[in-house]
Amino acid sequence: MKAIQQPWFHTQRIRDDLYCITEPCYAWQNRANLWLIKGRDADLLIDTGLGVSSLKVYLADLLDKPLKVVASHIHFDHSGGCHEFDEVYIHQHEHQALCSGDQQMILSAPECGFVPDSDFDSIPYQGFSAGNYAVKACPQARSITDGDVIDLGDRAFEVMHLPGHSSGSVGLYDLDKQYFFSGDAVYDGELLDNLEDSVVDDYISSMEKLLQLKTDEIRPGHYGSFDRRRLRQLVRQYIETRKAPLCPAEN
Considering the domain boundaries, does residue 4 fall inside one? no
Give the range of the structural domain holding residue 42, as residue numbers without chain letter: 10-243
Query: In degrees rounded to 5, what are phi and psi of residue 231?
Result: -55, -45
Q: Give the CA distances from residue 48 to residues 59, 79, 123, 154, in Å, rounded to whole numbers and listed in that order.
A: 11, 5, 18, 23
Considering the domain boundaries, does residue 136 fall inside one? yes
What does pLDDT average to in each consecutive run of 10 residues of the chain (251 residues)? Answer: 95 98 96 98 98 98 96 98 98 98 96 95 96 97 98 97 98 95 98 95 98 95 98 97 64 42
Q: What is the total count of domains within the chain?
A: 1
Cα separation of the two ends of the chain: 61
Which residues, listed in sequence order, are joined to residue 172 by a DSSP beta bridge?
A: 159, 181
Considering the domain boundaries, does residue 143 fall inside one? yes
> What does the pLDDT read at residue 243?
85
CATH number of 52's domain: 3.60.15.10
Considering the domain boundaries, does residue 248 fall inside one? no
* Beta strand spans in 57-169 (E): 67-70, 88-91, 142-144, 149-151, 156-161
pTM over 0.85: yes
At 126, is the secondary structure helix, strand, or coil? coil
